[in-house]
Amino acid sequence: MNTATRTIDLKRGKDLSAGLEPGYFARRDPWDWLFALLVVAGGLWAFAHYHASMDIYEKWILAGTVPSLIWLGWFWRPLRVLMVVVAALSLLAIWLYHGPEGQADLARGDHVFLLKYFLSSQSAILWMSMLFFMSTAFYWGGMFMRDGRGAAFEGLGSRLTWVAVTLALVGTMVRWFESHQIGPDIGHIPVSNLYEVFVLFCWMTAAFYLYYEDQYRTRSMGAFALLVVSAAVGFLLWYTVVREAHEIQPLVPALKSWWMKLHVPANFIGYGTFAIAAMLGFAYLIKQSATETRWWKLAPLWVLGVVLCFEPLVFRQGATDKGGSYWFVYFGVSALIVGGILAGRRRIASRLPSFEVLDDVMYKAIAVGFAFFTIATVLGALWAAEAWGGYWSWDPKETWALIVWLNYAAWLHMRLMKGLRGTVAAWWALVGLAITTFAFIGVNMFLSGLHSYGAL
């Protein structure tokens, strides 16, 4: 055999060996299996302690949650640390609520230091709110700093976002526990009213953004993605002050269903990823108009300014004087944000990732959101059939959910079939956010129907 023949055979051998990759489970390292063991142990502990409060459907949901969490931790490793920390802090809070006699007492939340200032549900959610504001400020600070300091600011913004997501999840888990201590018929997963789902929206949106940040190795998208989270936090704080919405309330009869535990989270994965796509679409338009000086060519900035600055006038309806004053402060902050973006658009554009990255993340966020929104819509129809005897009733919420679905179905169709990219895709994503926002909260404000559970 000559040298050329041996070389060809070696190359063939390498090509064959390259195709023989280890299987999925064979690629797991000891830390993966340790994490899986912890999740299984946690699921068994939860079943042993709380099975009396679960119906048969909730037990099956718990059984399905265990492998789902393991897969998520294997799919994206930072989630493993998040899950372990959230579990540890939540169990610490539950332990602190139990007095020397071993009985849970919610009154301990008013005088036990860690509960009062950090780990009770309301304390954790307030910390979440402050940290999301701070992370947004650091992300934007990084936009206007020199490269070294800018990267440091963005890194701090990213870490604060992780802490905010952690505390949001701790607040959610502890609120779930607190609701069961109020009364046997009151305990429920905290996704049942506007206050609870806004917390859900905040941490889900931030978590999905952090995934894209890690995958694309860029933090400069955070300035835009966290803006929508901070806007949601602003609404959450107003809603808490004006309506005292943080108080745990019993479920209305229609919500006493295991469908809620599946339908609502799936819906808000859609809402959160649609919001990320819209804000990255806005970033795309800012980058595109960086060198533009003609005012009519800066339409995206003016549109954002109108939306932010006139939003308080909408929310003032029926609000107390205290709530109205809050929205005037919001108006001022919004005007400063818009003015800052307008003045610094060239610097912002230079810090943003390429058009290709923004476009790709926008597409992937909409694709994920559309998949989960579709699942949520199907689950909602099944829930409606059980609760009201029909799969579809053209209720305002259902109608607008269909409009949202058709909008993003058309966006994805044009992307996949016609190669939709760039400016039109970005504008369409922004319009999609307006449609989604109305379906999410506008229906509750201006329309009535079977889904009006969170009136303003």
Q: What is this structure's pTM?
A: 0.90
pLDDT-derived band at 167 (thresholds 50, 70, 90) equals very high
pLDDT average, residue stretch 200-216: 97
- How far apart CA 274 and CA 303 sit, in angstroms, is 18
Dist CA 153 CA 144 (whole Å): 10
More confident residue, 242 or 304: 242
Q: CA-CA distance, 136 to 151, in Å (whole number)?
A: 14
Q: Average pLDDT of 299-313?
A: 58
Q: Residue 212's pLDDT band (boundaries 50, 70, 90)?
A: very high
pLDDT at 279 over 90: yes
Q: Does residue 319 have a pLDDT over 90?
A: no
Helical pair 355-388 and 260-288, crossing angle rounded to 10 deg: 150
Instruction: Tell me: pLDDT of 11 over 60.
Output: no
* Predicted local confidence at residue 31, as pLDDT: 94
Average pLDDT (22-47) is 92
Start-to-end Cα distance in the chain: 83
Check residue 385 and give its pLDDT.
Answer: 85
CA within 13 Å, CB half, 291: 1
Q: Average pLDDT of the chain?
A: 86
Q: Dump pLDDT digits (tens) for 348-396.
A: 999 999 999 999 999 999 999 999 999 999 999 898 888 777 788 888 8
Written as six digits, the tokens of 136 are 């947004």
Q: What pLDDT shows up at residue 16?
A: 46
Q: Using an 8 Å Cβ cutoff, are 405 and 377 in contact?
A: yes
Using alpha carbons, select from 369, 377, 424, 382 the residue that is nearest to residue 400. 377
Cα(358)–Cα(213) distance, rounded to whole angstroms? Answer: 11
| pLDDT, tens only, 53-94 | 888 888 999 999 999 999 999 999 999 999 999 999 999 999
- What does the pLDDT read at residue 256? 81
Q: What does the pLDDT read at residue 216?
A: 96
Q: How high is the pLDDT of residue 127?
A: 97
pLDDT for the residue 453: 55
pLDDT tens profile 328-353 = 677 777 777 777 887 788 889 999 99
- Over residues 430-442, the pLDDT tens digits come to 999 989 988 888 7
Helix axes 260-288, 422-437, angle to 10 degrees: 140
Report the candidate in 260, 169, 251 with the shortest Cα–Cα distance to residue 210.
169
The predicted model gives 206-231 an average pLDDT of 95
pLDDT at res. 289 = 79
